[in-house]
Amino acid sequence: MGKHQKVVHPPQENIEIKQLWNHLKTDLKDAMELFSPAFLVPVIISIILLCIFVLRLYIRWNVPCKSQKRLEGKTVIITGLGRATASELAKRGAKIILACRNQKRGEAVARIIRNKTGNEDINAYYLDLASLRSIKEFVYEFNSREPYLHVLINNAGYLGPKATTEDGYERTFGVNYLGHFYLSYLLKEKMKKCAPCRIVNVASSAYTIGKIDFEDLALTNYNIYKAYARSKLAQIQFTIEAHRRWSPDVVLSYAVHPGAVSTDLLRNWPGLKGKVLRMARNFLFKSPEDGCQTIVHCAVGEGLRDVSGNLFTNCAIVQTKKNIREKQVCRKLWDLSLHLCGLDDEIEKFSSESEDMEQNHNKPNPEQESKKSK
């Protein structure tokens, strides 16, 4: 190097950038090591487990029925084998009729409940809700053997592939809704005599996606969940209309969404979806003992007289979609149901009764008239 040659130092700024870049590179390297599969897999699994845990907490969240009301001297019909509901009401001293289509199984369940609760008044009667004839025979037998009926719990349910009832109606609609409509209709006079009485329709929040096409009751493009949702919508509209027609006789009506409950309801759902749902129900869904609490609340709870005609979940009212409560729609379904059950005479009867009521309503009130003239 010559004597007069100048030494050129790299500027201070460049050194700092270089150092910074080196730091960044080592940090990135460390971070990449952290995100290696050995680290990432357990993190992802933990996040999934946490999500399932939170979902499970949400689905299984449950409000128990607070009422301590005893039911000695009261008769309750439960359709299907609603074992948990029957046990809860048996503990309170009610006489329970399990109305089911497998009488052997019904009797076995009745025996279990008798042993568990010490209540001897638990009996199984034969009822197939997929047959209007069977419903009629059940009501005949019930009326000839039992003097009272205080609570009717329309609990039985079908969810499965396309099938028809004995009378040729789409099965999900026929069992979940029409059969229960017919049963309630035939038992109404008895309940009126035993008033105050309650009808509890075990529906479902699935109703929100339900649609009733009066021109396509056979549901041409059948889909299991659509059929189920339609039947549950019909049950809720039945609850609303039954309240309008029967609450003056103190026969009160309630609909219940029990939540997702670990039962046999999904047993007929075919394919992978059915398998996944059946697997999930075991650890995600509520126990039947928790699931029956709102049904018990609507069957026995105090202070529910003024809230007849509503849908309940977790022992509280939930607002239904507004358009489903329209008078015209509920009435149309009611009249169609009477027709499908061969009760056309009843359509006329109610029409003339309501006409009389309307005429009386429009007539001038003699007391008011005389006040006016004074």
Q: Which of 128, 170, 290, 335 binds ligand NAP (CB under 6 A)?
A: 128
Closer by beta carbon to ligand NAP, 202 or else 340: 202
Give the interface segment with ligand NAP, choosing from 50-58, 75-83, 211-219, 331-339 (CB under 6 A): 75-83
| Chain-centre distance for alpha carbon 246 | 22
Closer by beta carbon to ligand NAP, 210 or else 258: 258
Which residue in the list 125, 158, 182, 228 is annotated as catalytic?
A: 228
Query: Residues of 270-283 as b/e, b for ≥16 C-beta within 10 angstroms?
Result: eeeebeeeeebbee
| CA nearest neighbour of 80 among 2, 152, 12 | 152
Give the interface segment with ligand NAP, choosing from 54-62, 76-84, 88-96, 306-314 (CB under 6 A): 76-84
Q: Which of 77, 94, 113, 129 binds ligand NAP (CB under 6 A)?
A: 129
CA distance 37 to 231: 49
What angle, rounded to 10 degrees, do the helices at 180-193 and 327-340 form? 100
Closer by beta carbon to ligand NAP, 99 or else 330: 99
Which residues are 46's β-sheet partners? none
Closer by beta carbon to ligand NAP, 244 or else 278: 278
- 200 scored as a contact of ligand NAP (CB under 6 A): no
CA distance 301 to 328: 31
- Residue list 89-108, contact with ligand NAP (CB under 6 A): 100-102
Closer by beta carbon to ligand NAP, 335 or else 340: 340
- 233 scored as a contact of ligand NAP (CB under 6 A): no
| CA nearest neighbour of 259 among 225, 289, 299 | 289
Q: Which of 122, 124, 135, 156 binds ligand NAP (CB under 6 A)?
A: 156
CA distance 277 to 260: 11
Q: Total binding residues for ligand NAP by CB under 6 A?
A: 24
Closer by beta carbon to ligand NAP, 89 or else 335: 89
On the CB side of 261, CA atoms within 13 Å amount to 27
- 202 scored as a contact of ligand NAP (CB under 6 A): yes
| CA nearest neighbour of 338 among 201, 136, 185 | 185
> 179 in helix, strand or coil?
helix
What is the chain's alpha carbon radius of gyration, rounded to the nearest angstrom?
A: 31
Which ranges constitute the DSSP H helices of 146-196? 171-172, 180-193
CA distance 294 to 311: 10
Alpha carbon distances (Å) from 290 to 49, 85, 152, 259, 260: 23, 10, 20, 9, 10
| Binding-site string for ligand NAP from residue 22 to residue 51, where x marks contact by CB under 6 A and - marks none | ------------------------------
Q: Which of 261, 298, 300, 333 binds ligand NAP (CB under 6 A)?
A: 261
Give the interface segment with ligand NAP, choosing from 38-46, 74-82, 186-194, 317-325 (CB under 6 A): 74-82
Considering the complex, what minimum distance in angstroms separates the CB of residue 266 from ligand NAP? Answer: 7
- 255 scored as a contact of ligand NAP (CB under 6 A): no
- 127 scored as a contact of ligand NAP (CB under 6 A): yes
Mark whether 228 is an active-site residue.
yes
- 80 scored as a contact of ligand NAP (CB under 6 A): yes
Name the site residues for ligand NAP (rule: CB under 6 A): 79-81, 100-102, 127-130, 155-158, 175, 202, 204, 257-258, 260-261, 263-265
**Enzyme catalytic residues:** 228
